[in-house]
Structure 1
Amino acid sequence: MHTPLIRAVSYNLLNYGRSAVSTRSGQHELLRFLRADVLLLQEIWAEDTDQLDQLVHAIAGALGMTAFAVPARHSSNHLAILWRPEYAVLAQRARDLQLWHGLGIVRLDVGAAVPLTVAVTHLGPWNPSKQLDDTYTLTGQLPLADATLLGADWNSFGADPDYDPEPDWTALTREWIERHIRWNDDPAAPPVADRRPAQLMQRSGFHDAAATLGAPWQATGGHRGGWARREDVFWTTRPAALRSYQVIDTPAARNLSDHLPIMAELDPQALAAPPTPA
């Protein structure tokens, strides 16, 4: 019997809550069109948890989904996880752990042989060492024994320069360069992207969905200024379940946020496969 695939979308909403009502309505419309079963959101701007809950439930109401708000204790840009109401919630928790934006984890019964754990995070924008520290926390909080899909504004680089090429450093100002390269005591050394966060995820057994499926490289940010790079990533402990990956690059998406949504589909029947080395 054919089993429907599980469709996941990860999306940085660019200060949802401070953005114009028309922008929020457009994002709702885009997300309704994408028909996600699981939605992992970053950058919901709120001054306190009450405002965050109101905003997240407004999104959930617009999409007909169930929601879990994830406060970012060290930022005004928070996170959320949404899912189809048919999925039973087995566990949910929000983690601070000195993470830049936090970590949200929800364990769902999706009708498969094993539960699906979905998670959301957002690495810091300026400090590769902090990004690496936060990645150590992620690998400690997301065990390989679970069938997990993590959606993240990664704010960093992919593990493999053959897939995620070095940026054109000559096109960036020096202050930008220093915040994104691997530290070298020689200031005259050629700049090299700091890939340690992604390499740690890979060495810890997580798989980058886009690279795993061999999807054509495509930037998810930079279309509204800055530089084109693949800032948004899905990581999974069950690569055998991956069936598709796509960047939603449309005029509407480019107009609604400085990030493009990413979408992946998983086969629930393959979630029970044991984890494989990355």
Structure 2
Amino acid sequence: MLPQPSGPLRLAVGGLTSITDDFAFFTYNLCDYRRTGRSDEARYARVEEVIRELVRPGTPTVGAVQELPGDDWTSAAHGLGHLASATGLHCQAFTDGTRSAAAVPGGHDCLGLGLLWSAEVDPIADTLRYISGGPLWHALVMVDLNVGGHRISAASYHAPPKAGRDRRTAEAGLVATTLRSHAGDGGEIWLGADWNSPSSRTTDGLYYDPDPTEMVTSADRQRWGDDLPEIGYRTDRTPDMIMADAGFRDAAVEYGAPWAPTTGHGPNDRNGPRRIDRILYRPAAAAPGGVA
């Protein structure tokens, strides 16, 4: 079992990171990173700089990223490959002896996602799996990694936006089932995702994630910036409840990190400060397991 975070999680422009001296995991919605037909080199460079700042030399690091170019497999792989090259990380896994990027195109909206890791981490052959579109609005990608002699399953996921809010509960069930099946009953899982909804976890009887509308409009209602003012939607914590029931812990809550938003940083963010980007993990079984 990998060492668990001993200190608070830290936030860096939308990248939530769980760090110890021995292991780091981050999740980062890149917001249209090098998306086909768009160009914003200054912002892309800043995204790459943020990731470089997260990586500590000599510390095994794994990252889950969302909103890569996702028109097709080629564009997703190219986008992740460019990000890996710009940040000094790696993204190539072996399947049937062939090297391929741990990237997957999106279902709706052509938004891909992927996984990155540092030189101290080795991908385990023939463990790269994914779901693109179909039952998922966006996608899910997972791969097993050797981190200092410990085997973990790492995954990146992007939940539906407001247009697909009614699908989030079903998707959470599928994601939990898929990851548990992939890792086995005793396998350790680290999942970084843009959930597009708040956590269900509580501390001292209160939700760790306050209702978004308590910071934006009225209590117990969630308004999206591009809806008409009179339209509101009930905050739904069911997707995270499903993940909790499946044994996934919220890293920030588990280790008492001060609440911090992962949205609201950009000039065009109309939804206000929310913690919708989260790291969930399922601990390994008590009996230690080596790397196959």
Fold conserved between structures, TM > 0.5: yes
Q: How does 1:1-278 map to 2 (within 5 A)?
A: 4-17=21-34, 18-35=38-55, 37-67=61-91, 68-90=102-124, 91-96=127-132, 97-112=134-149, 114-126=150-162, 127-143=164-180, 144-160=185-201, 161-168=206-213, 171-172=216-217, 177=222, 192-224=234-266, 225-238=270-283, 273=286
Q: What secondary structure sits across from 1:53 in the alignment?
A: helix
CA contact (8 A) 2:222 2:234 kept: no
- Aligned-pair CA distance for 1:171: 3.7
Pick 1 or 2: higher relative contact order, CA cutoff 8 A, min separation 6: 1
In 2: Cα distance, 1:104 partner to 1:22 partner: 28
Runs of 4+ in 1 over 4 A off after TM superposition: none
Q: What secondary structure sits across from 1:115 in the alignment?
A: strand
In 2: Cα distance, 1:118 partner to 1:24 partner: 24
- Aligned-pair CA distance for 1:71: 1.6
CA contact (8 A) 1:115 1:147 kept: yes
In 2: Cα distance, 1:116 partner to 1:199 partner: 23
Question: Per-residue displacement from partner, 1:36-55 (whole Å, max 9, x unpaired)?
Answer: 61111001124332222222
In 2: Cα distance, 1:66 partner to 1:191 partner: 40
When the two structures are superposed, what TM-score results if normalisation uses the length of structure 1? 0.74
Q: What secondary structure sits across from 2:261 in the alignment?
A: coil
User: Higher helix fraction: Structure 1 or Structure 2?
Assistant: 1
- Aligned-pair CA distance for 1:274: 6.1
In the alignment of these two chains, the number of paired residues is 230
In 2: Cα distance, 1:66 partner to 1:12 partner: 18
- Aligned-pair CA distance for 1:272: 5.7
CA contact (8 A) 2:200 2:209 kept: yes
Decide whether aligned partners of structure 1 residues 103 and 274 sit closer, same or farther in structure 2, where only a CA change above 3 A counts.
farther
Over aligned residues, Cα RMSD in angstroms? Answer: 2.7
Which residues of structure 1 form unaligned runs of 5+?
Answer: 180-189, 239-270
In 1: Cα distance, 2:153 partner to 2:192 partner: 11
Letter matched to residue 151 of structure 2: P
In 2: Cα distance, 1:5 partner to 1:272 partner: 20
Letter matched to residue 14 of structure 1: C
Query: Identity of paired residues, percent?
Result: 31
When the two structures are superposed, what TM-score results if normalisation uses the length of structure 2? 0.71
